[in-house]
Structure 1
């Protein structure tokens, strides 16, 4: 089978959202900095096409093997302005090997064994384990820059954002192609801390409290000069404009004010908004 693809590659991908952390150049090792400084400049859309092209080339191999084969590391980038108006660039590594291992583990837990073995045959898993550098894999898993979520966005992610954060929307004619929301690391962590403290007081046994704790533990390993990005992926076309960040904040503020009716109403709005994408995910 010819794996060369034509047409809009993004239309072939599933509705997956991404939470990415972009760090300053000086936080990376010398080999990574060398790659970053030599890499051609790409826009976010061009990076999406680059990643999706690689994904489908792997998926459409003659032999079923979705894992990356000796693909070089790459780094997405975003530019940001500080309070003095100085522009800075931040970087997010692809970490394909680590992300592919995690995706395979999640798929193994989510689908029947016979289906999983068809999609990710044991021989391909064994070959991938031989290709992986264990030390590199361990380092990437410990400091993974990208989290993914298909057919929905974890509510905990919205604790980092507000409706007036910097937002990039991209259209292709009348079609909404992409939505990306950005926030500085320190501000995001402050928002997360407030959310955690609110739930400690009012709902310490909730699933959201556990998810926020996991999110906070993940963020601890990153430089405080970083930029955090919520990329809706193809979910943007389904749910945007999205009030989830506002609804979550309203629910938490209602809890803090002792208004449990208001908190329940905000939670219902959040739940109802994401029922549609989840149903589409189950249908797929």
Structure 2
């Protein structure tokens, strides 16, 4: 299964994720048992990604028309705490070998539960409230939405969690996410069959908060009407919900094969610095570099 990760994404929308990994102590006691079991299973990262992809495809073709996850199983991603992660290096040659069992003996592990039930509910609500709401109502019958709301209520009552650890984006990465990272952060480049499967960049939550607060402070003064300022403010509020020893991860997903090597974190930082200094020419140049890289990706969403 691990060797099919790249082929399994062919023809699907590019999907990227921003994840928070927390130490075990940040979770309720009943969920800690589940997380320990996931770590003990030692599933490779590629196996987790494949399982999630196959499960999502299975829900699309499930008899009965219910596209929502049931919550019977919830995948967990595990990384080692800062100081034990690999430094930036050359691409790894194969997804299966690059993402072997995690957690050396004695390593402090951090956990990111998929929380598919909660995330699917949030996504459905956003779809229903958007411009495609009438179409969504046809695709997701009210009966199925009500049944899934019961799963959401049960998941919240059981896990005791109000925090969603993952944000997802299709057809491109929001520019605000790049404010959390710098080019010197630990980076994993995963390749398979001559393609880049994904690129993952990680930063400690302290570093991420310092960077996003810096961006918010400068944009509030230099460009208070910029849409990105609102995005960054919401992003800050979200990150502040988590344990101070957490790690933030940007997972490019399959779009990495189109854009990597990627200077977007640098271009976003330079653009904000130029705005703060009143250098409109420099800010415009940084935006043009970003636009030339990401607008073609976003246009694929409307391609036939």
Q: Same fold (TM over 0.5)?
A: yes
**Scaled by the length of structure 1, what TM-score is found?**
0.90
1:241 Cα shift?
Answer: 1.6
2:128 to 99, 108, 113: 108
> Any idea what the Cα deviations from partners look like across 1:199-243, whole Å, max 9, x if unmatched?
121011211111110000001110110010000111112222211
- Under a length normalisation based on structure 2, what TM-score does the superposition of the two structures give? 0.84
Moved more, 138-147 or 59-68: 138-147
Instruction: Name whichever of 44-53 and 221-230 sits farther off.
Output: 44-53
Match of residue 53 from structure 1: 54
The answer to whether residue 178 in structure 2 is matched with residue 179 in structure 1 is no
1:133: Cα distance to partner?
A: 2.1
CA distance in 1, matches of 2:60, 2:11: 11
- Residues 1:272 and 1:141: Cα distance change in structure 2 (over 3 Å): farther
Question: Do the aligned partners of residues 236 and 220 (structure 1) sit closer, same or farther apart at CA in structure 2, a change above 3 Å counting?
Answer: same
CA shift, 1:108, in A, is 2.4
Partner SS for 1:270: helix
Alpha-carbon distance between aligned partners in 2 of 1:152 and 1:119, rounded to the nearest angstrom: 24
CA distance in structure 2 between the aligned counterparts of 1:93 and 1:218, rounded to whole angstroms: 16
Is 1:161 the counterpart of 2:161 in the alignment?
no
Structure 2 unaligned regions, length at least 5: 87-105
Which of these residues, 74, 89, 94, is aligned with residue 109 of structure 2? 89
Per the TM alignment, residue 167 of structure 1 is displaced from its structure 2 partner at its CA by 0.8
1:25 aligned to 2:45? no
Change (3 A) 1:6 1:43: closer
Task: Report the secondary structure of 1:274's partner residue.
Answer: helix
Aligned to 1:152: 172
Cα pair 2:259 2:293 within 8 Å, conserved: yes
Q: Show the 5 A alignment for 1:43-82.
A: 43-82=44-83
How many positions carry a matched residue from both structures? 279
Q: Tell me which of 281, 285, 288 is aligned to 1:261.
A: 281
Aligned-pair CA distance for 1:153: 0.9
Extract unaligned runs of 5+ from structure 1. Answer: none
Instruction: Please give the per-residue CA displacement for 1:12-62, whole angstroms capped at 9, x wherever unaligned.
Output: 542111000000011111111101112211222221111112111111112
Confirm or deny: 8 A CA contact 1:97 1:137 kept in the other structure: no
CA contact (8 A) 2:180 2:209 kept: yes
Conservation of the 8 A alpha-carbon contact between 2:6 and 2:195: no
The answer to whether the 8 A contact 1:16-1:148 is kept is yes
d(CA) in 2 for partners of 1:231, 1:125 = 29
Residue 34 of structure 1 is matched in structure 2 by: 33
Are the structure 2 counterparts of residues 239 and 137 from structure 1 closer, same or farther at C-alpha, using a change threshold of 3 Å? farther
The alpha-carbon deviation at position 6 of structure 1 amounts to: 11
Q: Where does residue 232 of structure 2 map in the other structure?
A: 212
- Deviations along 1:137-180, one digit per CA (max 9) or x if unpaired, are 79877311000110011111000011121111111121111111
CA 1:196–1:113: 2 relative to 1, 3 Å: closer
**Counterpart of 2:119?**
99
For 2:62 and 2:154, locate their aligned partners in 1 and report how far apart those are by CA, in whole Å.
25
> Any conservation in 1 of the 2:118–2:152 contact (CA below 8 Å)?
no
The answer to whether 1:9 aligns with 2:8 is yes
Q: Counterparts of 1:180 and 1:57 in 2: how far apart (Å)?
A: 26
